[in-house]
């Protein structure tokens, strides 16, 4: 079974707008990661945030983590058509494997 839930399941915005996706998880974690998956391809690692961090930035990506609420958010600023993809959060849950959420399908309209 999957650890987390992403919200929303699907998001459609105009190019240049910001996109925010949320992830909730169930168990305690060491870190939380976000991945992107283009249609028909494998997943690509975007960013990792550790359990003792609250916010992290990488280029146009901003990730927050609230361990008290067991939730994280991914913000993509100034979206581009190339950002169209599915986005997944993944947690380690203290174990050696990653457990993925259901994903958010993001569509950027030109």
Partner 1 sequence: GAGVSQSPRYKVAKRGQDVALRCDPISGHVSLFWYQQALGQGPEFLTYFQNEAQLDKSGLPSDRFFAERPEGSVSTLKIQRTQQEDSAVYLCASSSYRGAGEKLFFGSGTQLSVL
Footprint (CB under 8 A) of partner 1, residues 68-107: 88, 92, 95-103
42 contributes a contact to partner 1 by CB under 8 A = yes
Whichever of 33 and 84 has its CB closer to partner 1, that residue is 33
Encoded tokens for 16: 């240049």
Of the candidates 45, 54, 57, 80, which one interacts with partner 1 according to CB under 8 A? Answer: 45
Contact 104, 21 (CB under 8 A): yes
Whichever of 72 and 100 has its CB closer to partner 1, that residue is 100
Side-chain-side CA neighbours of residue 50 (13 Å): 2
């Amino acid at each position: 079974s999957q650890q987390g839930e992403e919200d929303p399941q699907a998001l459609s915005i105009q190019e240049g707008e910001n996109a925010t996706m949320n992830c909730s998880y169930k168990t305690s974690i060491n870190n939380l990661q976000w991945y992107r998956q283009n249609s028909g391809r494998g997943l690509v690692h975007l960013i990792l945030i550790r359990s003792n961090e609250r916010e992290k930035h990488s280029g146009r990506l901003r990730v927050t983590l609230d361990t008290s609420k067991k939730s994280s958010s991914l913000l993509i600023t100034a979206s581009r058509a190339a950002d169209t993809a599915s986005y997944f959060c993944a947690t380690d849950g203290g174990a050696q494997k990653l457990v993925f959420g259901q994903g958010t399908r993001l569509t950027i309209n030109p």
